[in-house]
Amino acid sequence: MKYEVEQKHPVAGFEAVEAKLAAMGAKIGPVAEELDLYFAHPVRDFVESDEALRIRRKGIKTLITYKGPKIDQTTKTRQEIELPLGEQAGTPERWRELLEVLGFEAVAEVRKQRRKADIAWRGDAVTLTLDDVDRVGTFVELEIVSDEEGVEQAKKHLATLAGELGLSGSERRSYLELLLER
């Protein structure tokens, strides 16, 4: 079973983090738009169970993602299953139709402009994203994908990397939760 070990930090801007990443030799990728459409389960309250189901559009790619409940009180560590759905025109709409026929209901769409950097930190591969989320704000996310045995080490590594980058105030709520709270 794979876990997404994640820390998300609100920031006023990206300049300081970009400078520190450049000093570490990291290359930040170009801006890409991601559209995440979240669904409510027909018989289970995802808010209460702390789960999520979404369809993500990244350019022509479409993915479906299940996120399990967070497993601790300090990070956004959770089981994640992500599968490609295809790259044909109309794929997101056809999958939305299928889910709605099965009783799922579209809740909200989260739109973000995202830039990524991959860096090695203390033996772990870290994906770092600079996210400008419509109607929510700007954030830096740090993520390590780990098996169950490596979760605690991954959390420690993310905490030290966050400190090195001058990040504080970790946010455990998802972009969807932050958007719905507005």
Query: Which residues are known to be catalytic?
Result: 38
Give the phi and the psi of residue 134 in degrees, each rounded to 5: -50, 130
- Measured CA to CA in angstroms, residue 116 lies from 55, 69, 76, 179, 180 at distances of 20, 25, 18, 22, 25
Whether 19 and 169 have beta carbons less than 8 Å apart is answered as no
Give the phi and the psi of residue 171 in degrees, each rounded to 5: -110, 120
Select from 71, 78, 76 the least CA-distant residue to 172: 76
And the tokens for 135? 């109607």
